[in-house]
Structure 1
Amino acid sequence: MEFAKRHAEVMNLMVTTIEQLNALPERARERTLRYINAWWSSLVQPQINWGDTARPAKGIIKQDMLDHLEAAADIIAGSLVGSAAAPRGIDLDGIGEQCREWLDLLHGMEESEISGPIKDGLISQIEHLIWLVENADLFGGARVASEASRVIGSLAQASTTMENANPETINRWKKGWLALIAVCVAFNGGVAVVHESIDSGTAIVKEITGVVSDIQGNE
């Protein structure tokens, strides 16, 4: 089970790497994408038995292909620095702490406030994000940043279904959402002052709310 989960996460990294390479300038993009098949084959090994003890791990991929992968990582880090693809921060404690607070909030919500399937889906996502934080030495901070962004989007969508939630729950939800945005912004940019990130997040929320209100008014 753990092997399957880790291997699936590595394949997720492969997908993310392809997306990041596609975001590079044209010359760098064309130069790096040509090695995708070799990297994919080393992960999937479609023509080799995983249980073949006669094949040591060092024979899975050639050194030059690994060198090209590391060079691609350097290009990504240099070109996309400060984004989820190449976060500047190194402290993941804030994201982990916010995740645990969200689990506490969700576990305490009643069926009347949020539907069971939505609640269970959010809990599963957040628990996976905590797992990524705990295994950041294996999968990297970029994977944490990417999954955190997905969680933020899921929480935003779920909030639109909470017509019957009590005011206290809604208030905790909004504060928790902004706090999660803040720690993610701080981690991506390596920002030490989280309060500034919260202010930025609040401004973004107000802007989004204004756009939604305008759209609803025109319908």
Structure 2
Amino acid sequence: MDVSVENTAAHHLHTLLTLVRDSGEANLQNAWCKALDAEWGSLEFAKRHSEVVALLQMTIRQVNSLPERSRMRCERHVGSWWTLVMQPILNWSDATRTPHALFDANRLDHLESTADLISGHLVGSIAAPRSSNFEEIVTQCREWIEFLTAMGNEDIDGPVRDQLISQIRHLIWLVENANLFGGARVSEEASTVIGSLAQAGATLVNVSADNSNRWKTALLALVTACVVFNQASPIIQESITGGEAIVKEIATVVEEWK
């Protein structure tokens, strides 16, 4: 089995929950603000804590991919991890029970052990990417934003274009916050962006020949950047569902990097 790269969603979820537990703050509200480096009630806090929930969702899905005995053993602890993230019963401003008292060390230990299992079982996939070099992904994302912004309504429907730009900007935001949410979260969102771009490209009707060719080339460039980041992970099978010709060319790129 490959060694752990400690770059899974579960590892970063464990790190964040540990930061909350060891924050030294008197209540959950202040502890989460400190761990996420965001002001309570702000848009940034909402975005960042939502990504913590996303890390939990990813962890649950990846637990389901483990061998049966490991999966069954880990699944018993999922409810306790959800409670740590959400604390649905407590008032987060209540100072009578500190985060250190609320966050049982055994629950965190089980989460870290699960993270190691996921990493060892799925290393090299989007669940546990080997690399942490995001530079080329960001470069391709910025080029995509410029390309989409320049496209007129005669080439692509405005709402479709705006949604794609929003997704790509979120991917860049995740890269900028990779110290908090990790490479696996970046990798998963990159897979989603590639799928959205491939499906949108396959459904364009009135797009000019120049923009059609540029779309195809830009998509291949982004896929190549993600393949390098994941070191030839099966990102294509997980993200692309439309555009048979595009898929064939992307598959060729993947094979070249193996």
TM-score band by shorter chain is: 0.7 to 0.9
Q: Which residue of 2 aligns with 1:200?
A: none
Whether the 8 Å contact between 1:113 and 1:164 is mirrored in structure 2 is yes
Whether the 8 Å contact between 1:90 and 1:190 is mirrored in structure 2 is no
Q: Which residue of 1 aligns with 2:165?
A: 123
Give 4+ residue runs of structure 1 displaced > 6 Å after superposition: none
Give identity over the alignment, percent: 55
3-state SS of 2:169 partner = helix
Q: After TM superposition, give the deviation of residue 207 of structure 1 in Å.
A: 6.7
Q: Which residue of 2 aligns with 1:40?
A: 82
Q: Structure 2 residue aligned with 1:187, among 229, 232, 236?
A: 229
Give a deviation string over 1:168-213, Cα, whole Å, max 9, x none: 211111111111111111111289xxxxxxxxxxx9722799xxxx
Give a deviation string over 1:10-34, Cα, whole Å, max 9, x none: 1111111010000000111011111
Q: After TM superposition, give the deviation of residue 86 of structure 1 in Å.
A: 0.3
3-state SS of 2:189 partner = helix
Task: Work out whether 1:149 is the aligned partner of 2:191.
Answer: yes
Whether the 8 Å contact between 1:87 and 1:190 is mirrored in structure 2 is no
Q: Which residue of 2 aligns with 1:103?
A: 145
Q: Structure 2 residue aligned with 1:30, among 48, 68, 72?
A: 72
Task: Work out whether 1:93 is the aligned partner of 2:130.
Answer: no
Distance 2:246 2:112 in 1: 35
3-state SS of 2:211 partner = helix
Q: After TM superposition, give the deviation of residue 94 of structure 1 in Å.
A: 1.2
Q: Which residue of 2 aligns with 1:3?
A: 45
Distance 2:102 2:225 in 1: 38
> Where does 1:53-64 land on structure 2 (aligned, <5 Å)?
53-64=95-106
Q: Structure 2 residue aligned with 1:16, among 37, 51, 58?
A: 58
Q: After TM superposition, give the deviation of residue 58 of structure 1 in Å.
A: 2.3
Q: Which residue of 1 aligns with 2:174?
A: 132
3-state SS of 2:69 partner = helix
Q: After TM superposition, give the deviation of residue 166 of structure 1 in Å.
A: 1.4
Distance 1:103 1:207, change over 3 A: closer
Number of aligned positions between the proteins: 198
Give a deviation string over 1:24-53, Cα, whole Å, max 9, x none: 001110111110011000111011111223
What TM-score do the two structures reach when normalised by structure 2? Answer: 0.73
Q: Structure 2 residue aligned with 1:163, among 197, 205, 208?
A: 205
Q: Structure 2 residue aligned with 1:80, among 113, 122, 137?
A: 122
Letter in 2 for 1:113: D
3-state SS of 2:163 partner = helix
Runs of 5+ in structure 2 lacking a partner? 1-42, 234-244, 252-258
Whether the 8 Å contact between 1:122 and 1:154 is mirrored in structure 2 is yes
How large is the Cα RMSD of the aligned pairs? 1.9
Whether the 8 Å contact between 2:197 and 2:219 is mirrored in structure 1 is yes
Q: After TM superposition, give the deviation of residue 161 of structure 1 in Å.
A: 2.7
